[in-house]
Amino acid sequence: MSQTQVVVSGTKSAPKLRVDHLGVVYDRDGQSMPVLEDINLEVRDGEFICIVGPSGCGKSTLLNAMAGFLSPTSGSVSIDGETVTGPDPRRILVFQERGVFPWLTVEGNIGFGLSKLPRAEREKRIAHYVKTVRLEGFENSYPSDLSGGMRQRLQVARALAVNPDILFLDEPFGALDSITRVIMRGELLRIWEAVRRTILFVTHDIDEAVQLADRVVVLSSRPARIQDVLTIDIAHPRNISSPRYLELRDELLKQIGLAYEI
Amino acid sequence: MRFPRWLRPTLFIAALLAIWEIAVDLHPGQILPGPVSVAGGIVDLLQHGLLLKYVVASLFRVTWGFSLAAVLAIPIGLTLGWYRRGEMAFNPLVQIFRPISPLAWIPLAILWFGVGDLAAIFLIFVGCFFPLLLTAMSAVHNIPAVYINAGRNFGLSPSAFVSRVLYPAVIPQLLVGLRITLGVAWLVVVAAEMISVNSGLGFLIVDARNAGNRYDLVVAGMVVIGVIGLLLDIGMRSLEQIKSFRWRSSEG
């Protein structure tokens, strides 16, 4: 009995995702250009992490390395103790734009990763996620007939449909207008609270980070290192004019500002 | 005033035909037949059952030459485009063969295949193969990396990746390439039929001149070639309108 408890608490404290002395060096015209340097990070299961930093610092590179699209020059990324060697349907990367397949309908896109399921199960899953991202009535529409926000919701639905442990989101709302972005943040939080997946979310928007994240990882300018990790200790739904919110927001702004000065 | 879409071009063509007829009537000594005698020529051909026979013969050769080229060039082009090293090896060869007019192959075609359908089909094949190969190669280069990465992320097998990501992603560009190449095939068949066979619309034109200077039949043949070329183009364009094919133009 007590042994079981030890095992349970043991698995609980093990991180879902672990970045260990990660370094990435690009090779541009024979010149080596360090992009990421000695990145160390542990992410718990179900945690919502935002990654911010000055533009061009390597936020997307970090996300791509964690998702397996890019092999690190040094160090490693492991998920559930298993070293990441390539992209895997257990963790899905959501792109900033044009990520959905324009030749498939909404249903076709959501069902893209489900071809191995029996037909009935697949249809049930599709219908469920159509509802989750509120695209009812657009099941047979093509992405070209959807707005930018709907397309991003569709991309999130396609990702969720394969039941991934981790969602990597690369500035998913970056190309949307500011009103749609605010709505999409609320939608993402609602979905996250329903499915409780680990989320790593790259953004250049400080407010977005403070509104969404459990913890915010601040990267320095290139070559990027982790400058600070800020815990956002405000319960959802967050009041964006509360003193604590403003305090954290100012702290983050200061961090980024410092990063610019260096 | 709003006219139906087809009205303007129809009126314009009718006006041109009228001017043509009037001009020919004013100068009866000229050797260009007027539209009335050309129409008479078309009726003449129809009555002898030649027109349908020749059109079918030409379309038959185009279908075979074009289809064979598409079936071979598209998979090879997609493969070479995907494996850049293969492309680097093949590209100089392709670039040397491409500018050779398919008509330059006529002597060899006749030497290899004799006078007949096979020679004409071979010429059309040669005329279509290289443009289609290049279209397929560049179509692969132009696939947005996002689609490839999204496809990889969902753990598809290589064959599923080809059929569910690669292939649909290149379709819009392939269709444009196929439409242009079908036009080329239609050009080549007429030239090929003038020399290497004794049926078809190209043969009709040469034969009408050689067998009695029937210039009304020559122009009739030209008109039929033009009209069928237009219909082929409209047919290919309608393929491009299919929604799951059309995405490139609508998504930018």
What pLDDT does residue B1 have?
61
At A13, the pLDDT band (50, 70, 90 cuts) reads low
pLDDT in tens, chain B (252 residues): 677 888 888 899 999 999 988 988 888 776 788 888 899 989 988 998 889 999 999 999 999 999 999 999 999 999 899 988 888 888 898 889 988 999 899 999 999 998 888 999 999 999 999 999 999 999 999 998 899 999 999 988 888 898 899 989 999 899 999 999 999 999 999 999 988 788 899 999 999 888 877 888 899 999 999 999 999 999 988 888 776 666 654 443
* Spatial contact of A131 and A153, defined as CB atoms under 8 Å apart: no
> What is the pTM assigned to this prediction?
0.77
Q: Are residues B247 and A142, on separate chains, in Cβ contact within 8 Å?
A: yes
Candidate from A98, A142, A143 with C-beta closest to B146: A98
CA distance B66 to A72: 47
The CA distance from A133 to A107, in Å, is: 12
Question: What CATH number has the domain spanning B44-247?
Answer: 1.10.3720.10
For residue A89, give the nearest of B155, B165, B245 by CB distance.
Answer: B155
Report CA-CA distances (Å) from A240 to A49, A51, A247, A249, B226: 18, 19, 11, 10, 69
CATH of A36-90+165-262, one of 1.20.1050.10, 3.30.70.1450, 3.40.50.300, 2.60.120.260: 3.40.50.300
Q: For residue A240, what pLDDT is reported?
A: 84
Long-range contacts of the stretch A107-113 (C-beta < 8 A, 24+):
A107/A139, A107/A140, A109/A143, A109/A154, A109/A155, A109/A157, A109/A158, A110/A154, A110/A157, A110/A158, A110/A161, A111/A161, A112/A158, A112/A161, A112/B154, A112/B164, A113/A89, A113/A158, A113/A161, A113/A162, A113/B154, A113/B155
Nearest by CB to residue A142, choosing from B144, B164, B243, is B243
Q: Are residues B168 and A67, on separate chains, in Cβ contact within 8 Å?
A: no
Question: Which chain A residues touch B150 with a CB distance below 8 Å?
Answer: 93, 95, 99, 101
- List residues bridging with A31 in a β-sheet: A28
Strands A17-28 and A31-43: antiparallel
Chain B residue numbers touching A87 (CB-CB < 8 A): 149, 152-153, 155
CB < 8 Å to A143, chain B: 247, 251
Contact of B167 with chain A, judged by CB distance below 8 Å, is answered with: no
Beta bridge partners of B2: none
B247 touches chain A (CB under 8 A): yes
Chain B residues with CB under 8 Å of A101 CB are 147, 150, 165, 168
CATH 3.40.50.300 domain extents, chain A? 36-90+165-262
Would the pLDDT of A235 be above 70? yes
Element housing A151 (H / E): helix A148-161
Q: What is the pLDDT of residue B98?
A: 87
pLDDT band at A4 (very low <50, low <70, confident <90, very high): very low
Mutation target to probe the B interface, by most B beta carbons within 10 A, among A63, A103, A147 is A103
Domain ranges of chain B: 44-247
- CB within 8 Å: A87 and B147: no
Distances (CA, A) of A25 to A56, A62, A224: 14, 11, 11
Q: Helix B50-82 and helix B117-141: axis angle, to 10°?
A: 40
